[in-house]
Amino acid sequence: MKKFLKPTIRKKIVLLSALLSILLIAVSVTVSSAIFVSRIKKDAQTQCRTSCEMLGEYLSELEMQTTVSGSMAPFITYYKQNLNDIYANNREEIEEMSLKEINSPDDLAEKKSFFTELTSGLFGSGMMGLSYDKSSFRNLYPEVLAEMERLASAEGFINCKVFYYDAEHNNMVFMCDSTYTTSVTYSYPGSIEKTDEKIKTDVILKGGVADFSLDDYFMGYAPVVIENETVAYVSFKYSIDHLVNNEKEFIWMLVGIMLGASVVIVLVYLFLADRWLMKNVTKLSDAARKFTSHMNEGEIVPVDAEIRTNDEIKDLSDDFFALQNKVAAYSEDIAKKSAEEERILAELNIASKIQLQSLPDKPLSTDSARISSFIKPAKEVGGDLFDYFFTDEGKVFFTIADVSGKGVPAALFMMRGKEIIRSCAKAGMSAAKIAETANAELCKNNKEGLFITAFIGVYDEKAKRLTYVRAGHEQPFLLRDGVAEKIGEESNALLGVFDDAPFISETLEIRSGDKILLYTDGLNEGINEKNEEFGYDRIKETLENASGEILAAAYEAEKAFAGAAEQFDDITMVLFECVKSDTIALHSPTYDDIPVVTDRINAFVQGLDPHKISELDVILDEILNNYVSYAFDAVKKPQIDIEARLDRDVVQLSFVDNGALFDPLQQQTPAATNVLDRQGGLGITLVKSLSDSIHYRVFEGKNHLTITKTLKG
């Protein structure tokens, strides 16, 4: 079954021939049908136009004869005047009945009865007592209908009608119809129909003879002109069904001829294909199969198909054999290169690990600040660097830098720049001096012309002052009170370009809660599939809306923006945060101070988990109650200094008092004793159960109690 379904060349030839035959038949039928239909339309249009003109001339001559002879009243003029009076007095009823759909014999009878009664004054029975004009009209009306019926039947028309145009309401008011009153398409005298725009434009407005097709019909229209005035219009309706049947017979005959010719072509083609083509194609296929089999066995041996004909198949066989030889040589070369690339890739992976290990892998926390980092190299090794640590001067140093270029050269230059900057910072140099020294060193032996953009900052915790130098690097963002703005408008020279370039530092006073985001251009210049950049505005928006980890939020925002676009540059970020803090000094503390302190601490940690804040309130209440009750019995000037520090969702409370020295962590308490009662034992159990950690020490003759608690559920 599988072999039978295999798409062989023979089957493809048969299928292709069949498809070509079908296409040829379709084209022939389409063209023939178009020609045939065009001829039908032309004949039908000619008949419609000729018959309309003949009836129009007949009515015009009839009108002229009656007018000149005076023996009879002018037919059209008289008829139109009387019918127009009827139409004007009964227009709304006429329009309603004319537009009513005929769905049953009762509907037809109702319509016939309405219009018969409406025109009874014109078409009533009997001739006695009639006026001369009316009797003349009744004599001429049957003659006109007979002429209309003769013309319609002679040319195979469905019907012939006479109407005049009501310009005020855009209606055709019917006067005569050659069909019988029992027909659902019969237009009763006095009935109306909305005027088609084409009829209005081509016949009524232009006053000419017109014809056009409508579904399976052709319609012809012509004016009745008397003394250069159009008094009415005639129309003919013609069906082309019988001509369509002739077209179908012609098409089926053409299809039969084309199918017979197609069968002959397929048989001849199959014979020639088997005789001259299939034998050599089979040889070529066998050679390809053997060559593939050798490759699967791990041995690349070219196989000659041995075709002896001097045609395109022979050329194909020779080219295929030459290709096999090239594949064999190329495969050997690829194997060597693959082994070398695997070795290089392994070395790059090791280099990447060594590079990342040289960078800080944990955040740096101080009494008033926290520094964290993020890096995502675009290649195995990158050209971005960052660093932060305590200097020998007791200050906090941090930097971020970006090396021009990518890959191994940029990574090596980055490592060199990192060590120079680090050694300068360790030596206690100022930010400007670090930049100046690093620049001078990087300019030496820099034949490749690489350079570094950098931001170098030195933070003085005691003064809460940041001194920094921006050496061509991206402007950092300062997030303060929920608003992110760029800092460092003035930039210094790039590092490694001009060895004598001056470097000027700037100073920023740091406030509690401030955050500074440093980043390389891989963040703001990250692009999406539309080649749009992430940009500074999106960084600003991310900072102002981030509810958690800022570095993670910034990277996820850039990643979501980039979509499926490839990361072309390293993304590195460093976040400096000034930990939020508050201090409270209580002199001669009383019980009244306890709710004041509790309310102030609650305001300080506002926005975190309310349940955890309630537990913090219990800790504050117990500790402060025992301070007031027992700590200062022998002290003349009692004082408690309270400091609250908030690092993200972790609060640290430090209590320093000048009361009697007392280590609560060493106190053993009975189970029934108040756990924080200094006289009965501290009872540290409650505080420990509600805190993450608690530490006590004596420093400079004072008690120091430190408690930390996470305020996140």
Neighbours of 482 (CB within 10 A): 9
Kind plus residue range of the DSSP H or E element containing 578: strand 571-578
pLDDT for 680 equals 40
The percent of the chain in helix, strand and coil, each rounded to the nearest 5, is 50, 20, 30
Taking Cα atoms as reference points, which of 461, 469, 464 lies closest to residue 393?
A: 461
pLDDT for 242 equals 55
Residue spans of the chain under pLDDT 50: 670-681
**CB neighbour class for 458 (10 Å; exposed up to 12, middle 13-18, buried from 19):** buried
Neighbours of 602 (CB within 10 A): 16
Residues 6+ apart with CB under 8 A from 14: 266, 270
**C-alpha to C-alpha distance for 126 and 482, rounded to whole angstroms:** 103
Q: Would you tell me the crossing angle of helices 132-155 and 75-89 to the nearest 10 degrees?
A: 100
Taking Cα atoms as reference points, which of 577, 576, 573, 575 lies closest to residue 375?
A: 573
Distance of CA 276 to the CA centre of its chain: 55
Question: Which structural domains are found in the chain, ordered by start?
Answer: 39-239 (3.30.450), 361-578 (3.60.40.10), 581-710 (3.30.565.10)
DSSP 108: H
**C-alpha to C-alpha distance for 515 and 501, rounded to whole angstroms:** 30
Phi, psi of 144 (to 5 degrees): -65, -45
Distance of CA 317 to the CA centre of its chain: 50
Whole-number Cα distances in Å, 329 to 174, 288, 303, 336, 706: 93, 17, 15, 11, 75
**C-alpha to C-alpha distance for 598 and 605, rounded to whole angstroms:** 11
**C-alpha to C-alpha distance for 201 and 446, rounded to whole angstroms:** 86
- Quick: pLDDT tens for 326-356: 877 777 777 677 666 666 555 555 655 666 6
Taking Cα atoms as reference points, which of 519, 455, 449 lies closest to residue 484?
A: 519
User: Do 449 and 495 meet the contact criterion of CB atoms below 8 Å apart?
Assistant: no
Neighbour-count burial for 116-140, b at 16+ CB within 10 Å, e otherwise: eebbeebeeeeeeeeeeebebbbeb
The pair of structure tokens assigned to 238 is 């013609």
User: Do 454 and 432 meet the contact criterion of CB atoms below 8 Å apart?
Assistant: no
> In angstroms, how far is the first alpha carbon of the chain from the final one?
67
How many residues does this entry show for the chain? 713
**C-alpha to C-alpha distance for 695 and 705, rounded to whole angstroms:** 6
**C-alpha to C-alpha distance for 353 and 76, rounded to whole angstroms:** 107
Residues β-bridged to residue 163: 174, 233
**C-alpha to C-alpha distance for 560 and 544, rounded to whole angstroms:** 17
